[in-house]
Amino acid sequence: MNIRLSSLDDISAIIAIEQATNETPWTKEQFISSMEAGHYSNVMELKKSVIGFSIFSLIVPEAHLLNIALLHEHQGKGLGRNLLEHTAFQSKTLGAKILFLEVRVSNKKAIRLYESMGFVKDAIRANYYSGKLKEDALLMSLKL
């Protein structure tokens, strides 16, 4: 398993993961715009295949996890935790004191992971997620 900074060469793999794991996936344009905006983007590789990614923005002293995903077949094996730990460490190394994220209130699996890593529940953002069924987001944070 390897985690590295992503490049535009990884866009196709990232989009495939996003579409396979997210009810309202980002578009190719959104990923490119995020990279061009200077957001930090990592990919996780297993046997030279991209299986996950994370993207965060940084305005010191705050980091904001914008997106994180891992292919379903690799979930539940500790790899998502590894990717998130790497992202949190990277944020801290770059000067962040706190890492924020939003998660669907229905995504109990992710919420359990975040809580097990020390994230705390801060607030609910009503109708944060669009799509067929609007859904609230749980705002969580981790002191780094």
The CATH code for residues 2-143 is 3.40.630.30
Query: Could you state, in order of their start, the residue ranges of all structural domains in the chain?
Result: 2-143
Give yes or no for residue 133 having a pLDDT over 80: no
Separation between Cα atoms, residue 135 and residue 128, nearest integer Å: 6
Query: Highest mean pLDDT: which of 16-25, 64-73, 127-136?
Result: 64-73
Q: In sequence order, which ranges of the chain are alpha helices (DSSP H)?
A: 11-21, 28-36, 79-93, 108-116
Identify the pLDDT of residue 72: 95
Q: Encode 58-83 in three state secondary structure.
A: EECCEEEEEEEEECHHHCCCCHHHHH
Terminal C-alpha separation, the chain = 24
Identify the pLDDT of residue 131: 72
The residues assigned a catalytic role are: 102, 114
